[in-house]
Amino acid sequence: MTDLIISADQHHIDLAWQELKALNKSAHRRAELSDGVWLVSLKGALTRPQNPIFLRHIAPVQEVVPLDGDQSDLDTLKRTVRDALLDDFPTSDPFSVQTRLFEKTAYKPFDVNRALSSTIVQGTGAALDVRAPKMVLSVGIAQVDKQLFGMLGASTVEQNLSDWAGGERRFKREKGQISRAEFKLLEAIEYFDLSLPEKGVALDLGAAPGGWTRVLRQANDALVVVAVDPGELDGTLQRDWGVNHVRGTAEWYLQSLTADQKFDLIVNDMRLDGRYSAEILTNYAPHLAPDGSIIMTVKLPQNYPLPRLNETLQILKTRYNICGVRQLFHNRHEATIWAVGQ
Ligand SMILES: C[S@@+](CC[C@H](N)C(=O)[O-])C[C@H]1O[C@@H](n2cnc3c(N)ncnc32)[C@H](O)[C@@H]1O
């Protein structure tokens, strides 16, 4: 039997569950630990899901200990790690401890992380590296049937699907940031491991107020951006020589393009039905440079999001090859698609 904590966006946990079930039919739900976080059990070992869309994070549960919610828990957790989990941390592999607390306790995740990382350093000689760990000790502290438990497990970052606790990729708010939407694009670039063009022209459809345009301009000064939106762009972008604001719709701008106008990257965050937005993008296909990529956000309805996502993908597939689809941490009722020309 294998126990796991799975995490997904709270509105899409059922879809994440279907992805897990497709990998292992024996999987069953044991408890809901929090919104979008389930304790599950399955027979045998779990094969690593290949590019799941909704399953955001998987943490193994190898040890379960009852806790009291006070400072004594830190000793209990340290003892558990010392007695049962140290062998999972090779000296050569940098590690981190990721704690998620789903109940109110006398300590914070940071206290658990600090206590358990020193236990691992002392016991194995492995180096703590919270930025680029190879191994992770995942600790979930939650109530199940009115009893508080610590659930601990060791795994590689790849097995967890993310090197962030719960897959919650956080970015620091930057000075000059225009919109929260910037995090979506940053997360997509990181998740899909994309290299942005070093120069050339990017097209940003649905650009206002300009967060994505700002991210692209910050990435490479030689990459100029055509930002298409009937709405206003932030003042800093209006003063940027490398931004050309086309004040109109994507449909309208397309009519003005000549056959030889190509873009090295097309991004699309338009607030439109995904299917219609995808249709517009397919019309732009002749204007994508041969090595160009597209990144698109698909708005998902609250009810039956999967059929909408699939219909959107079908439309895109008529002109593009889909390379990645992911419901990112920064997507709210959305998913993000990465594709290239055919
Ligand atoms: C979520 S906002 C985009 C946020 C932007 N990515 C950012 O980082 O600031 C969606 C935008 O889509 C634009 N939009 C909706 N329909 C459009 C269309 N047909 N053509 C161009 N823009 C459109 C809206 O005006 C709105 O500014």
DSSP 248-286: S-HHHHHHH--TT--EEEEEE--SSBHHHHHHHHHHTGG
In which element (H, E) is residue 300 found? none
What are 201-230's pLDDT values in tens digits? Answer: 999 999 999 999 999 999 999 999 999 999
Structure tokens belonging to residue 267: 């991004």
Does residue 326 come out as left (phi exceeding 0), alpha (psi in the -120 to 50 range) or beta?
beta
pTM: 0.94
Report the residue among 212, 226, 229, 284 best suited for mutation to probe ligand 1: largest number of ligand atoms under 8 A from its CB. 229
Q: Is the minimum distance from the CB of 182 to ligand 1 under 6 angstroms?
A: yes
210 bridge partner residues: none
Q: Is the minimum distance from the CB of 183 to ligand 1 under 6 angstroms?
A: no
DSSP designation for 172: P
SS3 of 201, please? strand
The minimum-distance atom of ligand 1 relative to the CA of 215 is 8
Q: Say what the pLDDT of residue 50 is.
A: 87
| Beta strand 320-326 pairing with 334-341 | antiparallel
Distance of CA 154 from the midpoint of ligand 1 (Å): 42
What are 266-311's pLDDT values in tens digits? Answer: 999 999 999 999 999 999 999 999 999 999 999 999 999 999 999 9
SS3 of 339, please? strand
CA–CA dist 203, 211 (Å, integer): 13
Q: Say what the pLDDT of residue 46 is.
A: 84
Task: Give the type of residue at 199.
Answer: K
Query: In the chain, what are the domain boundaries?
Result: 2-167, 181-341
Q: Is the minimum distance from the CB of 163 to ligand 1 under 6 angstroms?
A: no
Protein residue with its CA nearest to atom 7 in ligand 1: 211
Virtual CA dihedral for 216, 310, 18, 294, nearest 10 degrees? Answer: -20
Protein residue with its CA nearest to atom 22 in ligand 1: 206
* CATH classification (class only), 181-341: alpha beta
Q: Say what the pLDDT of residue 144 is.
A: 95
**pLDDT band at residue 70 using 50, 70 and 90 as cut-offs:** very high
Q: Say what the pLDDT of residue 48 is.
A: 83
CA–CA dist 305, 299 (Å, integer): 9
Q: Is the minimum distance from the CB of 250 to ligand 1 under 6 angstroms?
A: yes
SS3 content of the chain, % helix, strand, coil (to 5): 30, 30, 40
**Is-same-fold flag (2-167; 181-341)?**
no
CA–CA dist 138, 87 (Å, integer): 15
SS3 of 116, please? helix
| Beta strand 288-299 pairing with 263-268 | parallel
Q: Which fold has domain 2-167?
A: VC0802-like (3.30.2130)
- Does position 154 have pLDDT exceeding 90, yes or no? yes
The minimum-distance atom of ligand 1 relative to the CA of 181 is 8
Distance of CA 32 from the midpoint of ligand 1 (Å): 36
Distance of CA 283 from the midpoint of ligand 1 (Å): 18
- Does position 47 have pLDDT exceeding 90, yes or no? no
**pLDDT band at residue 45 using 50, 70 and 90 as cut-offs:** confident
Q: Say what the pLDDT of residue 157 is.
A: 94
